Amino acid sequence: MFLLHKPSAEVVAQFISSEQHLSFSYSQVGWTQGKSPSGFTVGHNRTRLGEGEDTYKRAVAALRSWQQFDLGWVTIVPPGTPLEVGAVVAVQAKAFGFWSLNACKVVYVIDEGEANNARFGFAYGTLPDHVECGEERFTVEWHTDDSVWFDIYAFSRPQHPLVKIGRSVARMLQKRFVRDSLAVMRAAVDHLAADEQSARIS
């Protein structure tokens, strides 16, 4: 859905309600768990967040609250949506003077492993009213070398006619989203660490 103005909470609620019970707009549901479907653009990007249990816990907390979407030009609505299978959200974005709402549903949630070998995350898939078609996975990984990483894996292809025409612009915005999302997760982990230190001092 493209709009000339920022959508109100009422518009967002109506949009979510209209998509709530619709099926995914692609057949390869869950394939971000290991397969790369043909006919889609595949992207895989990651960044190191730091190391240790505290970093992992901060990153998980950030992911649970959808902070990887707090980019200024992109956000998740409605805010505070619980991260659970079947949850429907909209990616609200502003680009080139236009606003858009893009419906997604959480496909699966990952919460596995233990110290120095753990992974938390989720994937969401596109619903019919989304400019793209596909699935995206976001994970925080705590490796055996004690390093902590934020990982984004996605496959997609244009769905809206305007996006098909302007495919190169759409790819540019996708790359911008990935770059900004990796950066905001690094910042979120650092910010939470600073808050914890300040709380201990006070």
Q: pLDDT (tens digit, 0 to 9) for every residue of the chain, 202 residues total? A: 888 899 999 999 999 999 999 999 999 999 999 878 999 999 999 999 999 999 999 999 999 999 999 999 999 999 999 999 999 999 999 988 899 999 999 999 999 998 889 999 999 999 999 999 999 999 999 999 999 999 999 999 988 877 777 778 888 999 999 999 999 999 999 876 666 665 665 5
Backbone phi, then psi, for 50, in 5-degree steps? 145, -145
For 65-75, how does the pLDDT look when each residue is reduced to its tens digit (9 = 90+)? 999 999 999 99
Whether 120 maps to a domain, the answer reads yes
The C-alpha angle 183, 44, 58, rounded to 5 degrees, equals 40
Whether 48 maps to a domain, the answer reads yes
Whether 7 maps to a domain, the answer reads yes
The DSSP code for 70 is -
Instruction: State the burial class of residue 174 (Cβ atoms within 10 Å of its Cβ: 0-12, 13-18, 19+).
Output: middle
Whether 162 maps to a domain, the answer reads yes
Whether 201 maps to a domain, the answer reads no
Whether 202 maps to a domain, the answer reads no
Q: Domain containing 83: what range? A: 2-196
Domains in the chain: how many in total? 1
Q: Would you state the pLDDT for residue 198?
A: 59
Q: Would you state the pLDDT for residue 116?
A: 86
The CATH number for 186's domain is 3.30.530.20
Q: Would you state the pLDDT for residue 148?
A: 97
For 118-161, how does the pLDDT look when each residue is reduced to its tens digit (9 = 90+)? 999 999 999 999 999 999 999 999 999 999 999 999 999 988 87
Decide if 108 contacts 123 (C-beta within 8 A): yes
3-class state of residue 89 by DSSP: strand
The DSSP code for 32 is G
Whether 152 maps to a domain, the answer reads yes
The C-alpha angle 71, 75, 81, rounded to 5 degrees, equals 135
